[in-house]
Amino acid sequence: FCFLHGFDVEEDLVGSLASMSTNERIKAIQKLPETMRNKRQIRNKVLKEITKKSRHRGAQPSCCTECLQGAAVSFRRFGNTLSEYFHLLRFWHKTLKIIGADFGTSVLSYFLFLKWLLNFNLFSFLINFGFITIPQFLAAEPNNLSFTGLELLTGAGYFQKTVLYYGFYTNATIMKVENGPSYNMQLAYIFTVGMYFVICLLILLFSMAKSFYRNFINPQAFSGNASKLFCTWDFNITNEKAVKLKQKNLSRQIKEDLIEVNKEVLHFSVMERFHRIAVHLLAWVASLGTAVAACAGVYFFSIKNMELFIKGHRNDLESQAAMLVLPVIASLLNTLIPFFFSWLGHLEKFQSPGQHIYVTITRIIILKMSIVGILCYYWLEIVATSELQCWETLVGQDIYRLVLVDFIFCLLGSFFGEFLRRIIGTTVFVSLGLPEFDIGRNVLDLIYAQTLTWIGILFSPLLPGIQMIAFLIVFFVKKVSLKRNCQPPRKVWRTAQMMTSFMVLLLCPSFLGVLSVTGVTVWRLKPSEECGPFRGLSSMYAAVSEWIQILEGNTASKWVVWIYHNLITSELFFFVLSSIVLIVTYLYWQIIQGRKTMTKHLRKQLMN
C-alpha cells in the first residue's frame, strides 16, 4: 500500500511539473529535497510526460512537427547527459574538496590558482593552434633534419624546422585551390597574437572582479559565523565519506573565521619595536642584495650564451649541454633563493602567517621579475640587434629551455624541499616535525612560468600547450607531495583575499610587463631577413600598415580604413576613451563608498 501511495505521489508530482513553464519547472526540481540522482530521474520522467502530452494534443500532428519535437527532446536529453559526463571528467573537483578540508583555504588557494592557469593555457593553445599552426601545416615543407632526442631538452636541432618556432612560418598567402579562398599568414599571425592578449586582459580583469566580489564585497561574507554554523549544511549529502569530508571542511572554515574574530593585537615596548624594525630592515637589505647579485649572475651567463650563438650551433653533446647553462643557472637561482627568503621571514617573527606569506611573495616577485627583466633586455637589445640569422627562433629556443628547466626544478623542489625535509624532520631532527606547504614560493613559481609563456608566445606559438602539460603534471605531483610530506598550517588563518592577490600579481607586474615587451618587439624591432612571416619588413606592425594601404583602393573596405585611421591610430580617441573610463570608475567608486556605509548598518542589524 505504501509503495502504491508513493507511486501515486510521484505521478502527481510529475504531472504538476509537466504543466509548468520551463523556468518554473527547473526551479521547482532544484528545490526538491531529494538527492541529485532522484532529481535527474524525476526530470527525465517529466520530459517523457511532456513528449507524451505533445503527441496526444490535437487531432493528428504532422510528420514534420513530430520530427521537430522529437529532435528537440533528444537534443535536450543529450545535453543533460553530456553535462553529467563533463561533471564526472572534472577529476580535480574531489581533490580540491579534500585539500580544503585537510589543509585549509590557504593551501587550497594555490591549487585553485593552478587549476585556473591550466584552463587558461588550454584556451591559449587552442587559439594559436587553430589560427596559426593548422594553416602552416598546409604550406609546410618537409623537415630534413634528424631527430636525436636531445632536442627535447635543448629545443634546437630538429625542432628548428617545425611549427614550434616563429622562423618556420611562411610569409606567403596560403591558397590551396587556384582562385579559391586565401589565408594571409602575416595578418593571421599578428592579429591572432594581438587578439589573444586582448582576450587575456579581459579574462584577467573579469576573474579579478569576480574574485574581488566573492571575497571582499559578497553579502554572504557578512552574514556572521552563526549563519555558517546553522545554515550551510547540504542535506542532499547521504554518502558517509562525503558527510565526513563536508564536516571537516566546515569545521576548518569555522576555525579560520574564529581565529580572524579573536585575533589579538600585540603591544611592544619601544626597545622591542626598535629591534623588530632593525630585523625587518636587515632582512630587506639582504633580500634586495641577493636579488641584485642574482641578476648580475644571469646577465653574465646571458653574454656567455650569446657567444655560443655567435660560434654557431653544433650537434655534439658539449654544445647541446652548453645551451642549458643559462636556463639552469636562472632556474637554480629562482629555486634556491626563495628558500632563503622564507628563512628570513621566520627570523622576522611576523604576528600572523598572512603577513609572512605576503612579505615573502613580495620579495620573490622582485627577484623573479628582475631576472625576467634582465633576460628580456638580453633578448631585445643584444640578440635582436646582432647579426644572427633568425634571432626570433633563437629567442624562442631560449624561452623553451627556460620553461622546461624551470618545470624540472619545480619537481626537484617538491622532492628536496618537501620529501627530504619530511625525512629529516621525522628521523634526524624530530623537533622540526613535518614541513608546511610554502604557499608564497609555489605561487610565484607558477606566475614566473606563466610570464615566460606569455613572452614566448610570439616566438613559439605552441608554448602554451607545453606549459599546459607541465602544469597538469605539477598539479598531481604537488597533490601527492602535499598529502604525504606536509602538515596543515600550525596557525589556522583565513585567506579569503589570497586568490584575488594572486590575480593582481599575475596582472601586474607579470602581464603588463609582457605587454611592454611584446609592444617593443612588434613596433620597434626589425624582423629577420630570411625567416618568419614578417621577413623583409621594417617591423612586424608594418604588415598591418601595408594591408591598410591595399584596402584604401577597395571601396567595400573603406569602413575598415576609417576605423584604423580614426580609432586605432588616433590619440584623440584614446584620450576620450580614457576620460570616459576614469569618469565611470569615479562614479562606481562613489557607489561603492555608499554601499560600504550601508553594509556597516546592515551588519550591525544582523549582529543585533
- Report the amino acid identity of residue 209: A
pLDDT value of residue 4: 37
pLDDT value of residue 56: 59
Specify if 196 maps to a domain: yes
Sequence-separated (6 or more) residues with CB below 8 Å from residue 429: none
Q: What is the pTM of this model?
A: 0.77
Please, are residues 524 and 539 in contact by the beta-carbon 8 Å criterion?
yes
Residues 38 and 166 in one domain: no
pLDDT value of residue 408: 92
Specify if 260 maps to a domain: yes
Domain count of the fold of the chain: 2
How far apart, in Å, do the first and last CA atoms of the chain sit? 51
Domain boundary among 39, 54, 69: 54
Specify if 464 maps to a domain: yes
442 C-beta neighbours (distance < 10 Å), count: 23
Specify if 601 maps to a domain: no
Residues 230 and 305 in one domain: yes
Q: At what angle do helices 439-456 and 353-377 cross, to 10 degrees?
A: 30
Summarised one tens digit per residue, pLDDT across range 483-528 is: 888 887 766 555 556 777 888 888 888 899 999 999 999 999 999 8
Residues 111 and 38 in one domain: no
Q: At what angle do helices 22-31 and 2-18 cross, to 10 degrees?
A: 140
The grid cell for 37 is 540522482
Residues 217 and 320 in one domain: yes
- pLDDT mean values, one per 10 residues, the chain (608 residues): 50 79 79 79 82 60 61 65 55 77 80 90 91 85 78 83 89 75 87 91 85 61 57 68 73 67 65 82 92 93 80 61 86 89 82 77 90 93 84 91 92 81 80 79 90 93 93 91 82 62 85 92 90 89 88 81 82 88 87 84 84
Residue carrying the nine cell digits 574574485: 211
Residues 331 and 441 in one domain: yes
Specify if 528 maps to a domain: yes
Domain boundary among 484, 505, 537: 537
Specify if 600 maps to a domain: no
For every residue of 337-352, DSSP letters joined together read HHHHHHHHHHHHT-SS
The grid cell for 577 is 576613451
Residues 316 and 413 in one domain: yes
For every residue of 17-45, DSSP letters joined together read HHTS-HHHHHHHHHHSSS-HHHHHHHHHH
CA 298 to chain centre: 27
The DSSP H or E segment spanning 120 is: helix 92-128
The grid cell for 150 is 636531445
Residue carrying the nine cell digits 640578440: 383
Residues 7 and 146 in one domain: no
Radius of gyration, alpha carbons of the chain: 30
Could you tell me the maximum CA-CA distance found in the chain, to the nearest angstrom?
95
Domain boundary among 502, 537, 572: 537
Specify if 80 maps to a domain: no
pLDDT value of residue 18: 80
For every residue of 384-423, DSSP letters joined together read TTSS-TTHHHHHHHHHHHHHHHHHHHHHHHHIIIIIHHHH
Sequence-separated (6 or more) residues with CB below 8 Å from residue 189: 132, 169, 533, 534
Residues 130 and 27 in one domain: no
Alpha carbon distance 452, 514 (integer Å) = 9
**Dihedral pair phi/psi, residue 184, rounded to 5°:** -80, 110
Neighbour-count burial of 262, counting CB atoms closer than 10 A to its CB (0-12 exposed, 13-18 middle, 19+ buried):
exposed
Summarised one tens digit per residue, pLDDT across range 338-355 is: 888 888 888 887 767 777
Alpha carbon distance 352, 354 (integer Å) = 5
Please, are residues 211 and 504 in contact by the beta-carbon 8 Å criterion?
no
Residues 151 and 296 in one domain: yes
Alpha carbon distance 449, 242 (integer Å) = 35
pLDDT value of residue 403: 94
Sequence-separated (6 or more) residues with CB below 8 Å from residue 117: 446, 450, 471
CA angle (11, 13, 18) in 5-degree steps:
95
pLDDT value of residue 86: 52
Specify if 572 maps to a domain: no
Alpha carbon distance 351, 341 (integer Å) = 17
pLDDT value of residue 377: 93
Residues 24 and 144 in one domain: no
Residues 275 and 158 in one domain: yes
Containing structural domain, residue 248: 104-537
The grid cell for 540 is 612586424
The grid cell for 18 is 509537466
